[in-house]
Each structure stands twice: as C-alpha cells, then as structure tokens.
C-alpha cells in the first residue's frame, strides 16, 4: 500500500458504503453511518438504538439495554473503517487478535444514539492497532483497545514453500 498517495480528505459512508467496505451484515452490522473518516487515521461512527432492535426483548424485558458484546462490536466496526475505507482493502475479512482495556461506563437504552470515535495507531502487514471510545449525549459509554488482523494481507507475507 502506497500511503504517500493517501491524503487527509475526510470520507463518509452510509449503510451501502459500509457494506462495500466490510463484511458485516444484518443482523450483526451495528453501525448506521461512518463519517469524518480520515483514511489510516480515524473515523466517527453513529448508531441509533431503537426499541425494535432484535436483542432488547431478551436483554431485558423489564429493563431493555444494549448488551456489552454489541457495544464492543459497534466500536470495532467503526475502527475497521479506518483501514477498510481504502479501495484495495474494500470487502476484506477481519479477525480479532486482541481486545484490551474494555470499559463499560454507561447503560445504553432504546432511543440513545451512540457516537463512536475510533483511532488507528498503526496498520502494517495486515495488523491494525488502535481503539475506540463511544459516547451518548457527550458522556462516555464504552471504550476498548483493539488489535485486528486482515488475513488476506497477512497471507501475502507468508514465505512461499
């Protein structure tokens, strides 16, 4: 990847654009929009949680709130857009290598809009390192650090036999 040809022009993606870049699909695509994307640097994602989400009746009927795994997956889906937004990476599968420093600070309920700020610290040889923080009404909701692999890129560095 020739990073010298990547500038700081901000990109924006609706659902169709997100699906062009990453492999997540309903019911496991949790972000509605990704804007303010600076390739190989940062991205801002948005998710509006409505009462009609499939998980609210089970989590919990008398106190509906967003499960932790969905919060983390929303963070990482925004995070991977920092490098999947590049044309040559569109549609590539990703895999978690590591999650660290996961923190849940606020309950997220139907009607809340999650704003997610993701930062890419490093992307080399198919390994992305960085993290994301989410907010509801300006208050931190969840945060985590990630290491994510892009297997197709990693495979290109394997020695030939």
Point out the residues that are catalytic. Answer: 59
Q: In this structure, are residues 107 and 119 in contact, taking their beta carbons and an 8 Å threshold?
A: no
Distance, CA of 157 to CA of 161 (rounded, Å): 12
Q: State how far the Cα of 9 lies from the Cα of 89, in Å rounded to an integer.
A: 17
Cα within 13 Å of Cα(128), Cβ side: 31
How many Cβ atoms from other residues are within 10 Å of residue 69's Cβ?
10
Cα separations (Å) of 45 from 9, 21, 66, 122, 159?
17, 14, 17, 19, 37
Q: Please provide residue 71's backbone torsions phi and psi, each rounded to the nearest 5 degrees.
A: -60, -50
């Amino acid at each position: 990847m020739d990073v010298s040809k990547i500038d700081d022009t901000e990109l924006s993606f609706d659902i169709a654009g997100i699906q062009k870049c990453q492999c997540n699909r309903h019911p496991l695509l949790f972000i509605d929009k990704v804007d303010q994307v600076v390739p190989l640097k940062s991205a801002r994602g948005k998710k509006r949680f409505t009462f009609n989400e499939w998980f609210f009746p089970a989590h919990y009927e008398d106190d509906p709130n967003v499960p932790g795994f969905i919060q983390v997956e929303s963070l990482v889906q925004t995070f991977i857009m920092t490098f999947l937004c590049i044309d040559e990476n569109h549609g590539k599968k990703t895999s978690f290598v590591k999650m660290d420093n996961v923190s849940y600070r606020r309950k997220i309920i139907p009607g809340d809009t999650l704003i997610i700020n993701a930062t890419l610290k490093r992307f080399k040889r198919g390994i992305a390192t960085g993290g994301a923080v989410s907010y509801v009404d300006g208050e931190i909701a969840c945060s985590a650090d990630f290491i994510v692999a892009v297997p197709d890129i990693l495979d290109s560095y394997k020695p030939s036999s």
